[in-house]
Amino acid sequence: MKLLRKLPEAEFEIMKVVWEKEPPLTSSMLMEELRQTKEWKVPTLSSLLSRLVERGYLSTEKKGKERTYYPLITEDEYLQFESQDFRQRYSQRSWISLMNAFYDGEVLKDEELDQMQAWLDTKRKTDG
């Protein structure tokens, strides 16, 4: 996995849109999507996109007057990074205590519990 760093909230908001859409994305397309939840000006978005390019999360090309952006990191890669980072910071906690912290008080559907059980069974066989 590539060397990743935790994204600030604003950059993470951009990446969520990038991961949802089919690349390439233009800054105009991103601004239109983000306008629904953010009140950013064009220079703000441009600055945040530049940072994401510098950090290796996006690549960019200039096409005419518009820049296009492509993700270099998948959502799954970032989720794995965030999960590992979280587990390392709370490594003194057992897996069970972490799972309880995530799901305490929530009602899980039988289908979700079946999926977790299937995952645990697979882990037991492969990590055994």
Q: Which of 9, 21, 27 is nearest to 69 (CA)?
A: 27
d(CA 40, CA 96): 41
Cβ atoms within 10 Å of 47's Cβ, excluding its own: 13
- Quick one: pLDDT at residue 91? 64
Domain residue spans of the chain: 1-92, 95-128
In this prediction the pTM is: 0.76
Query: How many other C-beta atoms can be found within 10 angstroms of the C-beta atom of residue 50?
Result: 13
pLDDT tens per residue, range 35-76 = 988 999 999 999 999 999 999 999 999 988 889 999 999 999
Q: Is 60 exceeded by the pLDDT of residue 1?
A: no
Alpha-carbon distances of 37 from 30, 52, 115, rounded to whole Å: 12, 19, 33
**Quick one: fold of 1-92?**
Arc Repressor Mutant, subunit A (1.10.10)
